[in-house]
């Protein structure tokens, strides 16, 4: 079920920019079009690039926002979310909690 | 005239002629339009639906560039249900890295806020660890599930036992008590999970126990949003129509019983919901084409009325997907494409 | 005279003289003997205890040949509680292959039969897979946990609220109702797990809610053993003394309130229990030596009265083990050796 | 906690014969001494061998009762339990159910 929807109409999560567009819906209540345009602008790419896994792998690697295949030395998990919050200009709940716990809440 | 291979709402393969397919689509949209008093799909939309369901391809999809984001109800449970013995953090990683999920949800096997309350302290460390190792947005989700507040499982008298005895007032009082208790539990668990770092809270299958279920969830959403303005609340429904189990309950002056998706979304918005998930149930004795035409007719005006993102429920037995545990990709991919392209959705 | 390093019941390290140690052991056994009306430990036994607790070794153990078998309450949960993100089948394999467990138990995170009932199908599916890939005997376990049958969590009136109001009769009725419901749930879940192939069913922390809790479990045991004569039932207790929350409840003519382990075991045998697990709680303000002398004094006559195997509970805060989440091996190994060698147990 | 008890006074599970002795308590309600004597007799070893991991690894391998190390071509899991039921002369619930599920021929 999940796989079929993901292939038929899903953005592709971390393979592309699906998680980033989802974050704009979740944090700013943006509709799909607005959310995609916002993310494209922040990443300095075209909206079409957002669902292209080839292009997005390059972009995600350059920006350090997490790759679906985690390569050594690249940001992943919490590290990637620090950068996502910064690049998209949004608050991510667990990132803020982490900063508090690690005493880097500035 | 060649036959078209299609499926019934129970998943069985069936053959229809072009005329039968067209008729099914027209009747499906008409059924929804009459019930919810919304416009039926127009000629262009029906034509587009016809093309999607007429295709002989095993798999179909939206056009490049039209993709939407997906949220998942009962997220980690789906891996457990198929008997894969991994921890829930592994399940999240499988979704994130293997299945390309845009978001994911951590869930307890009982999938009810009431059942989570006594073990919330066990759930929080798992969520906190999951957040450290995952990148995609993470929900914590469960059902309001007002049914389990009734005796003999829960504390309040059983409304469905009182009703047939003619004890209408007592049944209503019991449901109102259940609402109070459920609001408490949902706020308690939702707060705990947000405090642990969750990106969002999902109230799934809302309205399963009728209008009291919907009311409790709207109230819990409002309280949580007032408490945590940055919290993302997703509210997913149980069916297209709010069952009037109580009949008189209102939220901000609007009677809940009998509301359809395009009316439900307005209340969800005023309760502060961030993402709304409308549901249309599948009729197993009608074709998938009939069901999807009907589903989109309900969902389209809901999307039009919305100022927040709308993610239609497209799981087993809802949103034109057949009622079958092992879903056929032909039927799901057609429903997926049709719903996104004609329903103009923000996600599924 | 050298100082002896020992621990208090709350886990804190403390020093005592030989005379203080001797005194603690004597007082501990006397306390238990007075309460339960059983003989205190003999001079030889006290001497043996003194030697065990006098030893400066970090770790002590039984002599080769005196080993016993271990059963585990809350088995798979222990790894989950530590935040190790493995599935429960993995946990069983870790216990079987990495930690040398003699038996193992699968448990649901809420660890109550009532909470398992609605998800028993999910539990069976996983349990059946666990049986295919493990070799050691596998229990399914949970608590009778009668307290969660009370409002606002459960269906019956809350006796702890009724008692202070002087509503003694109403409070008793509520507890009797809870017994009926708990019996149903335990029989339902126990049968399902046995039908899935369980080697045994564990009723853990029995009596936590007093005499109604103990009564429900004895009745369930009797029903299950009649239904499945081959079934192994382990009944583990919550404390040394059956609290008279009701006060008048009886099983086969014996009043339950106030029973000590040597009396509890007789009823357990009558009900058809296969393995009995007596418990003695730890007093945090007394030394571990005082606590173990007291615990063994309660347990020894229980073992003597038993015709079935006895596995004393030796987890956190019971059986002379200090009340601390991260248990010090010096204290646990001393309690382990003392309980087995002097208590003459069949297992822990 | 579990590890400390296992080292201080536990039999050692599959490393030794702990699971087998446990099965006798569970299926026949035998006390510890009786259960050990029974298992020792069935395995044709002296009682003191039951808690010796070196000796029991050999015995378990010879009798195909499952080894704590998962070696290739050796029994593990349900197949080991078929053998245990046979060697100890006891019924094992999931073994009996397994027989029922795989068809009449194996009953």
Question: What is the three-state SS of C14-57?
Answer: EEECHHHHHHHHHHHHHHHHHHHCCCCCCHHHHHHHHHHHHCCC
Report the complex ipTM: 0.76
* B229 φ/ψ angles, rounded to the nearest 5 degrees: -60, -25
Chain B touches chain C, with at least 3 Cβ pairs below 8 Å, answer yes
Tell me the shortest Cα–Cα distance from C34 to chain B, in angstroms: 38
Task: Give domain status of residue B56, yes or no.
Answer: yes
Element (H, E) at C206: strand C200-206
Which among C85, C150, C178, C189 is the top mutation candidate for probing chain B, defined by the most B β-carbons within 10 Å of its own β-carbon?
C85
Instruction: Tell me which residue in B67, B199, B274 faces A51 most closely, judged by beta carbons.
Output: B67
Say if CB B66 and CB B340 are below 8 A apart.
Answer: yes
* Interface contact B274-A65, CB threshold 8 A: no
Q: How far is CA C193 from CA B204, C72, C200, C222, in A?
A: 29, 17, 9, 17
Would you say residue B144 lies in a domain?
yes
Chain C, 82-141: which have a CB under 8 Å from a chain B CB?
A: 83, 85-90, 108-110, 115, 118-119, 122, 125-126, 129
Mean pLDDT of B176-195: 97
Which has the closest alpha carbon to C21: C37, C3, C33, C40?
C3
Asked if residue B348 is part of any domain, the answer here is no
Identify the weakest region by mean pLDDT among B34-43, B119-128, B252-261, D67-76.
Answer: D67-76
Containing domain of residue B214, as a range?
A: 3-343
C64 and D15 within 8 Å at the Cβ level: the answer is no
Residues in C closer than 8 angstroms to B80, CB to CB, are 122, 126
Q: For all residues of chain C together, what is the average pLDDT? A: 92
B99 belongs to a structural domain: yes
Residue B261 lies in a domain: yes
CATH number for the domain that contains residue B131: 3.20.20
Q: Subunits with at least 3 CB pairs below 8 A relative to chain A?
A: B
User: What would the pLDDT profile of C96-152 be if each residue is shown by its tens digit?
Assistant: 888 888 899 999 999 999 999 999 999 998 898 888 888 889 999 999 999 999 999
Question: For chain B, how many structural domains are there in total?
Answer: 1
Contact between chains at B152 and C87 (C-beta distance less than 8 A): no
Residue B293 inside a domain? The answer is yes
Min distance A38 CA to chain B CA atoms (Å)? 14
Are the CB atoms for C288 and C8 separated by under 8 Å?
yes
CA distance A35 to C269: 68
End-to-end CA distance of chain A: 43
**A46 part of contact set with chain B, CB < 8 Å:** no
Contacts of C195 in chain D (CB under 8 A): 97
Residue C5 near residue C56 (C-beta atoms within 8 A): yes
What tens digit of pLDDT does each residue of C18-63 get? Answer: 999 999 999 999 999 999 999 999 999 999 999 999 998 888 888 8
CA-closest candidate to residue B174, choices C239, C155, C94: C155
Residue B179 backbone dihedrals phi, psi, to 5 degrees: -60, -45
Task: Kindly report, residue by residue over A10-20, the tens digit of the pLDDT.
Answer: 888 888 999 99
The whole-angstrom distance between C152's CA and the closest CA on chain B is 5
Cβ within 8 Å, pair C132-D19: no
Is B204 buried (19+), middle (13-18) or exposed (0-12) by CB count in 10 A? buried
Interface contact flag, A31 B347, Cβ < 8 Å: no
pLDDT in tens, B267-302: 999 999 999 999 999 999 999 999 999 999 999 999
Measured in Å, how far apart are chain B's first and last C-alpha atoms? 35
Contact yes or no for B83 and C126 at CB 8 A: yes
C276: β partners: C235, C310
Question: Does C332 contact D77 at a Cβ distance shorter than 8 Å?
Answer: no
Distance CA B311, CA B323 (A): 20
Burial (Cβ within 10 Å: 0-12, 13-18, ≥19) of residue D14: buried
Angstrom CA distances, C332 to B338, C17, C327, D31, stand at 64, 21, 7, 24
> Residues 91..130 of C with a Cβ closer than 8 Å to D: which?
95-97, 99-103, 128
Q: Which chain C positions have a beta carbon within 8 Å of D9's beta carbon?
A: 61-62, 66-68, 336-337, 339-340, 348
Check D14 against C97: CB less than 8 A apart: yes
CB C87 within 8 A of CB B86: yes
When pLDDT is averaged across residues B69-97 and rounded to a whole number, the result is 84
B219 domain residue, yes or no: yes
Is residue B319 situated within a structural domain?
yes
The SS3 of residue B278 is coil
Residues of chain B with Cβ-Cβ distance to C86 below 8 Å are 86-87
Do C118 and B90 count as a contact with CB atoms less than 8 A apart? no
- The DSSP annotation for chain A comes to -HHHHHHHTB--GGGTTHHHHHHHHHHH---HHHHHHHHHHHHTS-TGGGG-HHHHHHHHHHHTS--SS--TTS--THHHHHHHHHHHT---HHHHHHHHHTT---
Residues in CB range of C337: below 8 A, 6 or more apart:
C52, C60, C61, C62, D8, D9
Dist CA C189 CA C180 (whole Å): 15
Higher pLDDT, C299 or A104: C299
Q: How far apart are CA D6 and CA D9, in angstroms?
A: 6
Contact A6 B101 (CB under 8 A): yes
pLDDT band at B133 (very low <50, low <70, confident <90, very high): confident
pLDDT at B20 over 90: yes
Q: How far is CA B4 from CA B15, B16, B125, B345, C4, in A?
A: 5, 5, 52, 28, 88
Instruction: List b or e across C28-40, with b for residues whose CB sees 16 or more CB atoms inside 10 angstroms.
Output: bbebbbeebebeb
């Amino acid at each position: 079920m999940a796989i079929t929807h993901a292939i038929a109409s899903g953005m592709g999560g971390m393979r592309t920019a699906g998680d980033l567009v989802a974050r704009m819906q979740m944090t700013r209540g943006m509709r799909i079009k607005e959310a995609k345009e916002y993310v494209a602008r922040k990443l300095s790419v075209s909206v079409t690039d957002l669902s292209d896994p080839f292009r997005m792998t390059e972009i995600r690697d350059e920006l350090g926002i997490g790759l679906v295949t985690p390569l050594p030395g690249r940001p992943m998990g919490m590290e990637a979310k620090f950068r996502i919050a910064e690049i998209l200009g949004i608050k991510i709940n667990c990132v803020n909690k982490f900063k508090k716990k690690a005493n880097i809440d500035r | 005239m060649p036959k078209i291979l299609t499926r019934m709402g129970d998943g069985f393969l069936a053959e229809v002629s072009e005329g039968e397919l067209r008729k099914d689509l027209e009747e499906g949209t008409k059924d929804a339009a009459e019930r919810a008093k919304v416009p039926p799909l127009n000629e262009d939309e029906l034509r587009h639906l016809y093309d999607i369901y007429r295709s002989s391809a095993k798999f179909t999809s939206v056009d490049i560039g039209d993709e939407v984001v997906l949220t998942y109800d009962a997220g980690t449970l789906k891996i457990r249900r198929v008997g894969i013995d991994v921890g829930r953090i592994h399940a999240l990683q499988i979704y994130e890295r293997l299945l390309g999920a845009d978001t994911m949800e951590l869930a307890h096997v009982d999938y009810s806020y009431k059942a989570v309350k006594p073990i919330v302290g066990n759930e929080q460390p798992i969520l906190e660890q999951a957040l450290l190792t995952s990148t995609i947005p993470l929900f914590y989700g469960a059902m309001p599930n007002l049914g389990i507040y009734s005796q003999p499982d829960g504390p309040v008298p059983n409304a469905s036992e009182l009703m047939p005895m003619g004890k209408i007032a007592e049944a209503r009082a019991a449901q109102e008590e259940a609402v109070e208790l459920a609001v408490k539990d949902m706020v308690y668990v939702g707060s705990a999970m947000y405090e642990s770092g969750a990106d969002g809270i999902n109230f799934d299958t809302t309205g399963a126990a009728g209008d009291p279920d919907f009311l409790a969830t709207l109230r819990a959403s409002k309280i949580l949003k007032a408490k945590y303005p940055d919290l993302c609340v997703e509210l997913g429904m149980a069916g297209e129509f709010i069952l009037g189990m109580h009949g008189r309950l209102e939220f901000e002056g609007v009677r809940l019983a009998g509301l359809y998706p395009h009316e439900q979304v307005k209340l969800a918005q005023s309760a502060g919901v961030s993402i709304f998930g409308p549901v249309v149930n599948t009729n197993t004795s009608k074709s998938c084409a009939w069901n999807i035409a009907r589903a989109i007719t309900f969902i389209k005006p809901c999307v039009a009325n919305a100022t927040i993102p709308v993610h239609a429920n497209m799981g087993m037995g809802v949103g034109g997907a057949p009622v079958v545990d092992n879903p056929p990709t032909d039927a799901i991919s057609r429903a997926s494409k049709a719903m996104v392209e004609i329903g103009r959705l923000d996600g599924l | 005279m050298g100082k002896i390093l020992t621990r208090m019941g709350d886990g804190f390290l403390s020093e005592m003289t030989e005379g203080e140690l001797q005194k603690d052991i004597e007082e501990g056994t006397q306390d238990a003997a007075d309460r339960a009306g059983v003989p205190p430990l003999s001079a030889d036994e006290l001497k043996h205890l003194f030697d065990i607790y006098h030893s400066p070794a970090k770790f002590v153990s039984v002599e080769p040949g005196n080993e016993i078998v271990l059963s585990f309450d809350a088995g798979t949960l222990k790894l989950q509680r530590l935040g190790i993100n493995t599935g429960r089948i993995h946990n069983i394999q870790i216990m079987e292959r990495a930690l040398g467990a003699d038996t193992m138990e699968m448990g649901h995170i809420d660890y109550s039969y009532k909470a398992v009932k609605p998800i028993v199908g999910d539990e069976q599916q996983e349990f059946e897979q666990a049986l295919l890939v493990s070799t050691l005997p596998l229990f399914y376990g949970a608590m009778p946990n009668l307290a969660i049958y009370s409002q606002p969590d459960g269906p019956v009136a809350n006796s702890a609220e009724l008692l202070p109001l002087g509503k003694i009769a109403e409070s008793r009725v509520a507890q009797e109702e809870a017994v009926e419901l708990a019996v149903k749930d335990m029989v339902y879940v126990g049968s399902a797990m046995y039908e899935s192939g369980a080697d045994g069913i564990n009723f853990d922390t029995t009596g936590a809610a007093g005499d109604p809790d103990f009564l429900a479990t004895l009745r369930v045991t009797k029903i299950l053993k009649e239904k499945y004569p081959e079934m192994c039932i382990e009944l583990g207790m919550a404390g040394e003394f059956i609290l008279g929350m009701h006060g008048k409840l009886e099983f086969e003519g014996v009043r339950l309130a106030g029973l000590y382990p040597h009396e509890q075991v007789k009823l357990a045998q009558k009900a058809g229990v296969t393995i009995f697990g007596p418990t003695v709680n730890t007093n945090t303000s007394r030394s571990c030596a005082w606590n173990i002398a007291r615990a063994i004094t309660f347990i020894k006559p229980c073992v003597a009265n038993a015709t079935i195997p006895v596995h004393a509970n030796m987890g956190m805060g019971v059986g002379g083990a200090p009340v601390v989440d991260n248990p010090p091996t010096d204290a646990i190994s001393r309690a382990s050796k003392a309980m087995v060698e002097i208590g003459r147990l069949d297992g822990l | 906690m579990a590890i400390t008890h296992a080292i201080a006074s536990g039999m050692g599970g599959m490393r030794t014969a702990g699971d087998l002795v446990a099965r006798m308590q569970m299926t026949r309600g035998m006390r510890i001494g009786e259960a050990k004597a029974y298992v020792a007799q069935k395995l044709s070893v002296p009682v003191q061998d039951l808690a010796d991991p070196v000796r029991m690894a050999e015995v378990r391998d010879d009798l195909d009762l499952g080894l704590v190390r998962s070696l290739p071509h050796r029994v593990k899991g349900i197949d080991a339990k078929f053998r245990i039921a046979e060697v100890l002369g006891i019924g094992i619930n999931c073994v009996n159910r397994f027989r029922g599920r795989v068809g009449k021929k194996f009953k």
